[in-house]
């Protein structure tokens, strides 16, 4: 199973019918992929395109990662350190956990946003 994160740019591209991202959604619905959407990324996408949060939330197999207290503390620290709020939750969610010891891959159509974060996102347009 492929664990991945859609950041706000990936969500916006998905809403425009991006083929690779649509493939991840199909794989998630079939149980072949684990697609996570950090809540703050979803809010950033919604701010740019009204209705995308409701659309993403209705897709089967996509998991919205909540901002619980421990995430708020970690994400708030990242934002305080200068990381763009739109990607801070994706940075946090990509870190290794007990469930995903290798972390999660961030999919972003603007990977340059992650400079200096320690995260090396993959541009879904460059997936072979």
pLDDT at residue 128 is higher than 70: no
> Within 13 Å of residue 125, how many CA atoms lie on the same side as its CB?
11
Domain boundaries, the chain: 2-126
Cβ 31 vs Cβ 128: under 8 Å? no
Fold of 2-126: Rossmann fold (3.40.50)
pLDDT tens-digit readout, 30-85:
999 999 999 999 999 999 999 999 999 999 999 999 999 999 999 999 999 999 99
According to DSSP, the β-strands at 105-107 and 2-6 are parallel
Percent helix, strand, coil in the chain (nearest 5)?
50, 15, 35
């Amino acid at each position: 199973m492929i664990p991945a994160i859609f950041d706000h740019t990936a969500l916006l591209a998905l809403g425009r019918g991006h083929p690779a991202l649509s493939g991840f959604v199909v794989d998630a619905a079939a149980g072949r992929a684990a697609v996570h959407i950090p809540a703050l990324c979803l809010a950033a996408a919604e701010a740019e395109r009204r209705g995308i949060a409701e659309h993403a939330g209705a897709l089967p197999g996509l998991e919205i990662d909540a901002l619980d207290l421990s995430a708020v503390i970690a994400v708030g620290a990242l934002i305080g350190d200068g990381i763009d709020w739109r990607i801070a939750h994706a940075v946090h969610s990509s870190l290794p956990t007990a469930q995903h010891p290798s972390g999660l891959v961030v999919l972003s159509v603007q990977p340059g946003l992650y400079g200096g974060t320690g995260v090396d996102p993959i541009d879904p347009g460059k997936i072979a």
